[in-house]
Amino acid sequence: LQDLSQQIASLQARLDEQKQAYAKRPRVRRLTSVSAKAHFEAVYIDGFRRKVEDMGTRNFPARALNSNTYGAVRLMVAIQKDGSLKEVRLLKSSGHKFLDQAAIQSVRLAAPFDAFTAEMRRNMDVLEIIRTWKFDSNQRVSSK
């Protein structure tokens, strides 16, 4: 009976630890350009998009122009609630490593982003944005 009580107490302690760890994990919200339905999310994503497009256009890779190479890169960008960049991950390559790197660099140069609004902070700790960045022959970076 004593062994059983100890096992139950041990299991209860482990369950309590797991509950605490679960409660402490960050709330992540993942958005694509299509899924940003709430007004505050759409406004935030638009500001993010414009900032990255501007930085990418200003730092358009000369190699793309010299080799007449253009393409699209799909990235996942994770932003923390203070606007700092948590992670940039390549999801789909353009097929040209230098364009992939230029897209990632555009995001890094555009950071930090705006801090989350009060409404966003109530709903998430990390915002993951999935977008495709297009490098075109007009020396522009755009996103769809």
At the second CATH level, the architecture of 26-143 is 2-Layer Sandwich (3.30)
Asked if the model's pLDDT at residue 1 lies above 80, the reply is no
Which residues touch 125 (CB under 8 Å, ≥6 apart)?
A: 26, 27, 28, 80, 81
Distance CA 23, CA 118 (A): 20
- Kindly state the tokens that stand for 36: 């940003």
What are the tens digits of pLDDT across the range 2-59? 888 888 888 888 888 887 766 666 767 766 655 555 667 888 889 999 999 999 999 9
Q: Which residue has the higher pLDDT, 63 or 1?
A: 63
pLDDT for position 68: 92
Angle at 128 between CA 103 and CA 123, to 5 degrees: 150
What are the tens digits of pLDDT across the range 115-137? 999 988 988 899 999 999 999 99
